[in-house]
Structures are given as structure tokens and as C-alpha cells.
Chain A
Amino acid sequence: EAEVAQSPRYKITEKSQAVAFWCDPISGHATLYWYRQILGQGPELLVQFQDESVVDDSQLPKDRFSAERLKGVDSTLKIQPAELGDSAMYLCASSLSSGTNYNEQFFGPGTRLTVL
């Protein structure tokens, strides 16, 4: 069964350092999402790609976060510099895109970030 891959699974860093997360969606999925999930809360969308284009990054803290999906396949989410409040689970998801809004999303296992 095809899965969304994420790495690393765990990351510990000190504040002010740079971190990067990688995601490889299910083959053929044109839409890719990055979410942040704080313990005890639901996932919050950070950025959504349709192929290589950003379609929603309204909740992405652009002063320190960046995301790219250069060839419309895998994607990287970067934080520079990391702050204590960035400690969370970072989830990647993908879905088919047929011009509709009702395709379900397939999630990767997530990257748990701890900022010290």
C-alpha cells in the first residue's frame, strides 16, 4: 500500500538553529499539505501545494518558515531560526486533485520537533 514518507521522524534542535523536514507524497497525488499539530489540538494547515504552486500559505509564519515543492513531487519545510514555540508535530499529507474539494488526505507519520 502506498504511503506518504516523512523524515526525520524526530528532531531535537536548539533555538535559533535551522531545521528542515522532508516529505514524499503518494505517487500521482498532485496536492501536498504541511500541517502543524500541537499536543492536544487538531492539525493546523501551514501550506498547501497544487503541483509546484502554493495555493494557501496564509497560516505560514513567513518570517521564519519556508516551503518548496520544486518539481511538484517531494517537498521540504524549513524553519530558520527555530523558536521554543515551534515544538510540535509536523505532518505532511497528500491527496488526489481532480478540481474538487472532497478528496480525502493521506498522512505521513509526522516529524516531532523539540526546540530546546
Chain B
Amino acid sequence: AQSVAQPEDQVNVAEGNPLTVKCTYSVSGNPYLFWYVQYPNRGLQFLLKYITGDNLVKGSYGFEAEFNKSQTSFHLKKPSALVSDSALYFCAVREDTGGFKTIFGAGTRLFVKA
């Protein structure tokens, strides 16, 4: 069965510093991996996804994520954090074997301090 783990409930970063939000996954086949962001009182918004190919994926708002098959990880990164990046971030996984369900992690709350 597929699963996703976000080991940190909260990440605190100073504005201008790099940020990393961690995600590890478990699937039987090959993974499709996604990052979504949830701002207060708003629905989830898609940030980026990994399907195949280049392990470094670039997405919205300057975010990127690195797929590491050997470590089964898909960490979200940004070179320079902004206060406006403060939000709840969710990692999600789907298998490529024809399964229909997307499994979401529990979420990581990012606080960026000015």
C-alpha cells in the first residue's frame, strides 16, 4: 500500500534563508509525486509534480523539489524564503500501476519570520 510521511509538523525559517520541507514515500510501483500548499481559509493549490525524467522539478512561486529514488524522498525547497510563503504544505503520492487514489501526507506548517 502506498504511503507518505512528512516528518516535521512545523518548519521555522528566517526570511531570506533557504527552506526545506521534507517528504518520504512508499509505493509498490513508480511514484507520481506532488506538492500542494494551503493558505488560511483557502483550498489547496498545486505547486509542482514529478512524473519522470529530471530529478529536480521546478514549480510555482520559486519552489522546487528533488526526487531521490534511492532515499524514496521528494523534499520541497526554496533558495530564499519569503514571509508570504508561510502556509501549510502537503506532499502527495500516486502509483503508476493504474491505482486511482492520491495519498496525502499530514502536512507541514511553514513559518517564515521577518
Contacts and interface: CB of A to CB of B under 8 A. Distances in A.
Q: Indicate, yes or no, whether A interacts with B.
A: yes
B94 A101 contact: yes
Contacts of B8: none
Given A56-B100, A101-B94, A101-B95, A107 B45 contact: yes
A91 interface: yes
Where chain A touches its partner, the secondary structure class is loop
Contacts of A109: 41-43
B43 A42 contact: no
User: What class of interface size applies to chain B in its complex with A?
Assistant: 20 to 34
Interface residues of A, number: 23
B22 interface: no
A73 interface: no
A110 B42 CA distance: 8
A102 B44 contact: no
A56 to B, nearest CB: 5
A104 interface: yes
B87 interface: no
Contact of A4 (B34, B43, B99): B43
Nearest to B32: A102
A60 interface: no
Considering residues A33, A40, A104, A108, which has the most beta carbons from chain B within 10 angstroms of its beta carbon? Answer: A104
A65 interface: no
Interface in A64-116: 91, 93, 101-102, 104-110
Given A56-B100, A102-B32, A109-B43, A42 B106 contact: yes
B43 A48 contact: no
B58 to A, nearest CB: 14
Interface in B76-114: 90, 92, 94-96, 98-102, 104-107
Interface of B: 4, 32, 34, 36, 41-46, 49, 51, 90, 92, 94-96, 98-102, 104-107
